[in-house]
Structure 1
Amino acid sequence: MSNIRLTKLFGFETGHALYGYDGKCKNVHGHSYKLAVTVTGTPITDTSDVKYGMVIDFGDLKKIVKEEIVDRFDHATVFNKNTPHAQLAEELIRHGHHVLLVDYQPTSENMVIDFAKKIGPRLPEGVALHSLKLHETETSYAEWYASDQ
């Protein structure tokens, strides 16, 4: 049976700031992120299975990514919890803002690594995370490939 790659695209709005950075991104700002999630597997051959012919139901993949990434990061502001931004985060939270404190500098590179750690374990048996592509802007993106790990 052939190994097949499936890709589903997601979008979310997230703010962040890069503590210690020497450019404009040291300031709190946001992006309209686009995330491409690609998985691999072989189509189900059991004709009695409701998912017959699928590697994974796109709806099932959507549920995983929505719960692990989109619902958490959409309209949130992300800060490295090990920087003075933690104080700003506390103030924003006190005023009802959705803030995520992570243990990494919230660059696209680190976010895509984090996303892979969150999505991969949730995939069903026989389906593997192949790659992630996170667009921070229309022309700039970070990629994660399982084969590079």
Structure 2
Amino acid sequence: MSKIRITKMFNFETGHALYGYDGKCRNVHGHSYKLSVTVIGTPIADTSHVKYGMVIDFGDLKKIVKEEIVDKFDHATVFNKNTPHIELAKELEERGHNVILVNYQPTSEEMIIDFAAKIKARLPENITLHSLKLQETETSFAEWHAADQV
């Protein structure tokens, strides 16, 4: 049976600041992220199965990515938990803002590694995460491919 890749795209707005960075991105700012999630698997061959012919129901993939990524990161501000912005993070939280403190620099590169781990952990065992593309601006993006992971 053929292996097929299925891709679903997501959009979310997230703010961040890059601790220790020597450019403008050291300041708190935000992006309109576009996340493409591609999984690979074999379409269900059982004609009596409700999802016959599907690798994965797009709705099931949407549920995973929304719960793990979109619902958490949309309209949140992400800071490295070791940043001197920690006081700002605490004040924002006290004022009811959604703040996420992470163990990494919240660059597209590091965020996509985090997203890959979260999504992989939720996929059914017969489905493999093939790739992610996280677009930060119209001209800038990071990609994660399973084949590149050693």
User: Which bin holds the TM-score, normalised by the shorter protein?
Assistant: over 0.9
User: Displacement of 1:87 after TM fit?
Assistant: 1.4
The residue aligned with 1:65 is 65
Give the 3-state SS of the residue equivalent to 2:19 in structure 1.
coil
Alignment of 1:1-149 (within 5 A): 1-149=1-149
Q: What's the TM-score once normalised by structure 1's chain length?
A: 0.99
Distance 1:128 1:134 in 2: 18
Distance 2:119 2:86 in 1: 26
Give the 3-state SS of the residue equivalent to 1:59 in structure 2.
helix
Distance 1:138 1:89 in 2: 28
Can you list the C-alpha shifts for 1:71-113, whole angstroms capped at 9, x where unaligned? 0000000000011121110010011111000000000000000
Unaligned segments of structure 1, at least 5 residues: none
Amino acid at match of 1:3: K
Unaligned segments of structure 2, at least 5 residues: none
Give the 3-state SS of the residue equivalent to 1:136 in structure 2.
strand
Distance 2:106 2:85 in 1: 12
Can you list the C-alpha shifts for 1:2-46, whole angstroms capped at 9, x where unaligned? 000000000000000001100000000000000000000000001
Using the aligned pairs only, state the percent identity.
79
Can you list the C-alpha shifts for 1:36-77, whole angstroms capped at 9, x where unaligned? 000000000011110100000000000000000000000000
Q: What's the TM-score once normalised by structure 2's chain length?
A: 0.98
Amino acid at match of 2:144: W
CA RMSD of aligned residues (A): 0.5
Distance 1:24 1:121 in 2: 34
Q: Which runs of 4+ in 1 moved over 2 A?
A: none
